[in-house]
Structure 1
Amino acid sequence: MGMMKHPALVARGIVAVRADAGGDPKTMLAALNAAFEEFKSTHTAELKALKDGQSDVVRTDKLTKLEASISSLQGALDTQAAQMTALQLGGPGTDGAPRDPEYSNAFSAHFRKGDVNAALNKGADAEGGYLAPIEWDRTITDKLVEVSPMRQIATIQSISGAGFKKIFNLGGTGSGWVGETAPRPQTATGTFGVMTYTPGEIYANPAATQQLLDDSEVDLEAWLANEVEKEFSLQEGIAFVAGNGVNKPTGFLTYAEGATNAGAHPFGAIPTTTVAGATAITSDELIDLVYSLPGELSQNARFVLNRTSLARIRKLKDGDGNYLWQPSFQAGQPQQVLAFPVTEMAAMPNATAGAYPIAFGDFKRGYLIVDRLGIRVMRDPYTNKPYVHFYSTKRVGGGLLDPNALRVLRMAAS
C-alpha cells in the first residue's frame, strides 16, 4: 500500500523538520515528536514574552510554521491508520484479483458499450438498473471508511429492508422484599421505547464521453469508484454530524440538549456542558467535559472536533503546565487530548456563539449508521450526449444510539 508523501515544512531558525520521509511511519513519528517539542518551547517563550509586554514577529512566524508542520505530519499518520482500518474490512483478494472476475468483466463491458451477456447480468431489472459487482461494492465501502471519520468510530448496521427498528428498555420493573411465606403480589412491568432508523438515498452522477470509454486503457471500475466515493463521503460527512433526517441521516449534534431532536430518543437528549465564553475554551472546561461522562462509559471514549478547534486546543495546558494535546507516539495510534484519542471531523462547527464545536464519548455505543445493502448503477447514454452518465445510488441512514454514551460542549450564546 502506498503511503502519502508530504512536502518539507521548515521553521526558520530551527532544525528543519521534514515530512517527506517517503511515507515511512517511523521517520514521520520522529519528525512529529521533534516538531511538537520545538512547538512547546517556542509557545512557552511566546507566552512569556506576551506577559512581559513584548512581541516577536519572528517567533510568531516560527510558531505558525511549526503548527502547520505538526498538522501535516499528524494528518499523514491519521490517513495511514484509516487506510489500515479499511484494509481490515476485506476487499479484493490479496493478489488484487476480483472475487468474481466473470461478472466484473461484464460490468466493465457494460460501462463501455452498454451490452451485457444476459447470463451475466445478475443485477439488471426491468428499469435498466445494474447492481454493482460485490467486490466493487466492497471497494466503495472500504473507501468510505477510509475517508469518513464517522464510519471509523460509529456502529455500522447493514440491512436488507426499508428500515431498521431498535427497542430500548426504559426500565420500570418493580421488585420487593418478602418473608418466606408472605404473598407475592404483582410488581410493576418495565416499558420500552422504539427508534426507527430509515435510510435516505444518496447519489452520484459522474460522466465520461463515449470516446473516452471506447479508447480508455484505465481501470473503469476504479475510476467510477473514486468518483462515487468523493460525492458519497462529502454528503455523508455532513449528514452524520448535522443532518436533519429528511431523506438523509440524522446528525448526532441534533440530539444534543437544546437542539432540534433533543426529545427524539427514548433515553433523552445528549447532555451538554456549556462553557463561559462565546468563542474561547479553557483547559478546565475540557476537563469538565471529560468527567461529565460516567467512568464506565469512558473506556472507549474519544474527542470529535474540526481542525480549527483542534488548533486552539493544541495550545492549552493543564495546571501543571503540561499540554493537553499529545501527538501520535506510534504508527496506528491517534493523537490525543487529555489521554483520549482525537478524531478530526471537518463537518463539526467552529467555536462560535451557541455552537457545539466539540463532542466526547463512545461513538460505537452512541451513534448508529444504517447501510442498505448494495450500490445500484444505471448507465445513461441518452440524457447528455455525447456523455455517458453513471447514475449511482446508495441508501444510508443514521441516528443516535445511546445519548448516555456521548457528551457535547456548547459555547455560550454571546
Structure 2
Amino acid sequence: MDETAIAGFETKALAPEIRGLQDDMMRTFESFCEANDARLDALEKRMGEDVVTAEKVDRIAAALDAQNQRIERLTLKEIRPALGQSGPRGEDAVSEHKSAFERYVRGGDEAPLRRFEEKAMSSLTGADGGFLVPDETEAEIGRRLTAISPIRSIAAVRTVSTAVLKKPFAIFGAESGWVSETATRDQTAAPQLAELTFPTMELYAMPAATSALLDDAAVDIDRWIGSEVEQAFAAQEGAAFVTGDGANKPKGFMSYSTVAESSWAWGSVGFVTTGADGAFASDGAADALIELVYALKAGYRQNASFVMNRRTQASVRKLKDKDGSYLWLPPASAGGRATVMGFPVVEAEEMPDIASGSLAIAFGDFARFYLVVDRQGVRVLRDPYSAKPYVLFYTTKRVGGGIQDFDAAKLLEFSA
C-alpha cells in the first residue's frame, strides 16, 4: 500500500464541496429536462428521433450519473467514523483487545491475543485459524458495508451466533370473525407457518501490506483493515443479494421463481408487465410503473423503494406522467436518493438491463422482503509467507441472505 493510499485515511472537510456538487447536479437536471423536452417535441412533430438531440440527452444523463456518483463517494468519505473507539465493554477491555490485535497484525505476536482470550474466557480463534477482530472494528465494517452495499442498506439485517438462522413466518394469520354474545363460536383454523432457513456462507478478502506500512505507527491498523475489506465485501455481497444462486453464497431475490401477479402464491415473486416487449409501451409508459406500485399492498408501499441498475434508471429518467411532469427527480439533498414517483431509487448494478422478457425493476419494502444474516465475528489470519515481501491478511466473515416475505416486493417484466 503506497503513501497515496495512506493519505486517504486523513479526514477532510468535504461538506462545502458536496453542497457545490449538489447545486451543479440540479442545474444539470434542468438542462436534461430541456434537452429531453426538445427530443420529445421532435418525436411528435417528425415521427422520428433527432439524432443530435438524442445524443445530447444521453450525454447530459451520463453527466448526471457521474455527478451523483461523485456526491455519493464524497458523502461516504465524510461520514466514515474512525475505527477503534471504545465500546460498551469498558475502556480497559477495549484497549487490551485492540492493543493485542495490533501487535498480532503488525508483528505476528499471538501471545497477547491468547492471553486476552484466556482472561475473557472466550474463544477468539476459529477451527480454520485466525483471530477475531476487536468488536469495534467488526461493528464499523458492518456500518460501512451498510453505507456502500445497496441491498444491505435497505434490507433487514440480523446478527446471529450460529451457522444457520431458522425463522418461522406466518403465511396466514389465525382466523377470526364477528359474533353475537350468545352465538356459537366455530373453531378457527390455526395460523399457517413456514420455516425459512438462512445458512451463512464464508466471504473472504485478502488485503496485502508491506512491512513499511505495518511498521508505521501513524497508520491505524484497525482502520486500514476496515477500509481494505469493505469494498471487496460490498462488491461480493451486492452481487449475491441480487443474483446469488445459494451455492456457497446467499440466495439473491432474483434467483427465486417468478409468476404473474394475477397468479401469485407464496414461494414466488409476483411481476407485472410493461405491455411492450423489451421496452416501455410507447403510449403511456408511466402506466407500467404505476401498475407496479399498486401491485404492492398498501402496508408495504409506505417504506418501498425502486431497485434498478443505472442503465435502466437512465431510461426511466426520460419518462413523464400524463401531466407532463418527470417521474424521476434528483436527490433533494446531498447523500439522499433520487426518487421515482416519490419513492427512493436504489441503484444495484447486478439488476438486469432492459431487454425482451427481463425483470429489470424491483419495487417493494425490502426491510420486510429480504433478510441479510450476519454471523458474529470477523476473523483475520496473518500470512507473511505466501506472497513475500508482502504480508497477506486473510479476512473472513460469514453472511447469508434470502427472501423472508414473498409478498413484500414485486418485479416489472419488460414484455407484452
**TM-score of the superposition, structure 2-length normalised?**
0.82
Change in 2 beyond 3 A, CA 1:80/1:290: farther
Tell me the alpha carbon deviations over residues 288-310 of structure 1, each in whole angstroms, 9 at most, x when there is no partner. 11111122321111101010100
Partner of 1:92: 85
2:378 to 375, 379, 384: 375
- 1:57, CA displacement in angstroms? 5.9
SS state of the match for residue 41, structure 1?
helix
Partner of 1:269: 268
Residue type matched to 2:68 in 1? Q
2:318 to 306, 315, 330: 315
CA distance in 2, matches of 1:3, 1:152: 25
Partner of 1:9: none
Change in 2 beyond 3 A, CA 1:191/1:91: farther
Partner of 2:62: 68
Partner of 2:394: 391
Partner of 2:361: 358
Residue type matched to 1:319 in 2? K
- 1:365, CA displacement in angstroms? 1.1
Residue type matched to 2:30 in 1? E
Residue type matched to 2:320 in 1? K
Change in 2 beyond 3 A, CA 1:354/1:185: closer
CA distance in 2, matches of 1:69, 1:52: 28
CA distance in 1, matches of 2:147, 2:212: 32
SS state of the match for residue 203, structure 1?
strand
2:306 to 292, 303, 306: 303
- 1:59, CA displacement in angstroms? 4.0
* Worse overlay, 173-182 or 200-209: 173-182
Partner of 2:115: 119
- 1:196, CA displacement in angstroms? 0.9
Partner of 1:250: 251
Residue type matched to 1:296 in 2? G
Tell me the alpha carbon deviations over residues 90-109 of structure 1, each in whole angstroms, 9 at most, x when there is no partner. 97369xx9982332232222
Partner of 1:23: 17
List gaps (5 residues or longer) in structure 1. Answer: 5-20
CA distance in 1, matches of 2:51, 2:149: 38
CA distance in 1, matches of 2:259, 2:76: 33
CA distance in 2, matches of 1:63, 1:227: 37
The question of whether the paired residues in 2 share the 8 Å contact of 1:78 and 1:334 is answered with: no
Q: What are the within-5 Å matches in structure 2 for residues 52-63 of structure 1?
A: 52-53=45-46, 59-63=53-57
Residue type matched to 2:352 in 1? P
Residue type matched to 1:169 in 2? A
Change in 2 beyond 3 A, CA 1:102/1:257: same
Q: What are the within-5 Å matches in structure 2 for residues 279-294 of structure 1?
A: 279-281=278-280, 282-294=285-297
CA distance in 2, matches of 1:199, 1:75: 31
Tell me the alpha carbon deviations over residues 373-414 of structure 1, each in whole angstroms, 9 at most, x when there is no partner. 11011112233444322111100101112121101111229x
Q: Percent identity?
A: 41
Establish whether residue 205 from structure 1 lines up as the match of residue 206 from structure 2.
Answer: yes
The question of whether the paired residues in 1 share the 8 Å contact of 2:277 and 2:414 is answered with: yes
CA distance in 2, matches of 1:91, 1:387: 24
CA distance in 2, matches of 1:398, 1:378: 25
Kindly tell me the number of residue pairs found equivalent between the two proteins: 389
The question of whether the paired residues in 2 share the 8 Å contact of 1:82 and 1:152 is answered with: no
Change in 2 beyond 3 A, CA 1:83/1:288: farther
SS state of the match for residue 368, structure 1?
strand
The question of whether the paired residues in 1 share the 8 Å contact of 2:278 and 2:354 is answered with: yes
Partner of 2:403: 400
Tell me the alpha carbon deviations over residues 52-97 of structure 1, each in whole angstroms, 9 at most, x when there is no partner. 448766544543332223223333444566678876x997369xx9
RMSD: 3.3
The question of whether the paired residues in 1 share the 8 Å contact of 2:164 and 2:198 is answered with: yes
Change in 2 beyond 3 A, CA 1:327/1:98: farther
The question of whether the paired residues in 2 share the 8 Å contact of 1:302 and 1:340 is answered with: yes
**TM-score of the superposition, structure 1-length normalised?**
0.83
CA distance in 1, matches of 2:179, 2:126: 65
Partner of 2:414: 411
Partner of 1:37: 30
- 1:174, CA displacement in angstroms? 4.7
SS state of the match for residue 333, structure 1?
coil
Residue type matched to 1:275 in 2? T
Residue type matched to 1:133 in 2? P
SS state of the match for residue 68, structure 1?
helix
The question of whether the paired residues in 1 share the 8 Å contact of 2:18 and 2:334 is answered with: no
